């Protein structure tokens, strides 16, 4: 495929889209700000162009746009010593420290904490254990009870997916802050009838929302930006799975900072985050 030509077509599509977008403006009940809506015809035109280039859009594209603000967040800090003593049910544990990570292995359980904020847990004794009639509801309860037992559960944790796997269920919990998801704030677990086999947790605590709000780019603009990425174009045919507005924070070295409104565009399961103010792409 002539990638240079394909990219040129997408750029032209972007220009044309901006040229014929018709906005119906009215007062919205949210925040007292005005709202802008993309017409169905505009969306259909862009989707048709993308699908002609092998990019299938399998999700709805938001039409309404509201002014958005910046959310200040901080990572949930983990008391490593308390967590390890609770998990292993013994005092005086001395974990192995390596770089920004502390780790302890005992009784078939591997527990690692990075930067006092990110947890990796694995119970090897539960590997390859059968479901034994485990239901989705049971799996969710086992997962939530596990988090509560070690003081990791937050009321803002929302079940995003419960997917059957060979030995039980894979659970994904995300954070809903007001009208948007807060990313990357996540708990991923594998649950068997015997308990939690593995867990990965990285959680954010919302602190304050800025009073001032700014207009954000349209979802269709974010979609076109992602579609024009070199790795996406080289992988066609591809499918766009998700387009939704979130708060996005992914500063690996910062304890706290600003979570910007971002369009999350997932292509074949790979998430791209388009800053809804600047249009900059992260993944």
pLDDT tens digit string along 98-114?
A: 999 999 999 999 999 99
Helices (H), the chain: 3-20, 40-52, 80-88, 136-149, 219-227, 230-233
**Dihedral (Cα; 214, 217, 219, 222), 10-degree rounding:** -130
Q: What is the pLDDT of residue 11?
A: 56
Q: Is the pLDDT of residue 242 over 60?
A: yes
Helix (H, G, I), strand (E, B) or coil at 186: strand
SS (H, E, C) 100-138: CEEEEEECCEEEEEECCCEEEEEEHHHCCCCCCCCCHHH
Short-list 75, 95, 96, 77, CA closest to 87: 95
Q: What is the pLDDT of residues 175-219, one digit of tens each?
A: 988 878 898 899 999 999 899 999 999 999 999 998 888 889 999
- Name the one residue in this structure whose structure tokens are 């990285």: 202
Q: What is the pLDDT of residues 101-154, one digit of tens each?
A: 999 999 999 999 999 999 999 999 887 676 678 899 999 999 999 999 999 999
**Domains in the chain, CATH or no CATH each:** 3-69+211-251+259-282 (2.40.128), 73-208 (3.30.310.160)
**Total number of residues shown for the chain:** 283
How far apart are alpha carbons 114 and 102 in whole angstroms? 7
Mean pLDDT calculated for residue range 229-236? 91
SS (H, E, C) 140-183: HHHHHHHHHHCCCCCCCEEEEEEEEECCEEEEEEEEEECCEEEE
Using DSSP bridges, classify how beta strands 64-65 and 71-75 pair: parallel, antiparallel or unpaired. unpaired
Q: What is the pLDDT of residue 10?
A: 56
Q: What is the pLDDT of residue 35?
A: 47
């Amino acid at each position: 495929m002539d990638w240079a030509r394909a990219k040129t077509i997408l750029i032209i599509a972007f220009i044309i889209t901006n040229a014929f977008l018709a906005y119906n403006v009215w007062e919205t009940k949210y925040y007292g700000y005005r709202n802008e809506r993309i017409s169905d015809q505009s969306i259909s035109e862009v989707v048709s162009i993308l699908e002609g280039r092998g990019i299938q859009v399998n999700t709805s594209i938001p039409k309404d746009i509201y002014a958005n603000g910046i959310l200040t967040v901080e990572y949930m800090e983990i008391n490593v010593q308390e967590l390890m003593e609770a998990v292993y049910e013994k005092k005086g544990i001395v974990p192995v420290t390596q770089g920004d990570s502390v780790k302890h292995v005992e009784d078939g359980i591997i527990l690692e904490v990075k930067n006092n904020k990110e947890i990796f847990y694995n119970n090897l004794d539960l590997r390859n254990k059968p479901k034994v009639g485990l239901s989705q509801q049971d799996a969710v309860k086992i997962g939530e009870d596990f988090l509560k037992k070690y003081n990791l559960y937050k009321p803002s944790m929302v079940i995003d997916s419960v997917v059957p796997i060979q030995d039980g269920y894979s659970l994904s919990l995300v954070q809903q802050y007001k009208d948007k998801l807060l990313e990357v704030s996540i708990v991923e677990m594998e649950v068997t009838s015997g308990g939690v086999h593995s867990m990965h947790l990285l959680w954010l605590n919302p602190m304050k929302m800025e009073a001032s709000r700014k207009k954000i780019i349209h979802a269709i603009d974010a979609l076109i930006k992602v579609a024009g990425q070199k790795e996406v174009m080289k992988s066609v045919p591809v499918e766009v799975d998700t387009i939704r507005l979130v708060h996005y924070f992914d500063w690996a070295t910062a304890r706290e900072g600003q979570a910007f409104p971002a369009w999350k565009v997932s292509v074949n399961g790979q998430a791209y985050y388009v800053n809804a103010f600047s249009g900059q792409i992260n993944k």
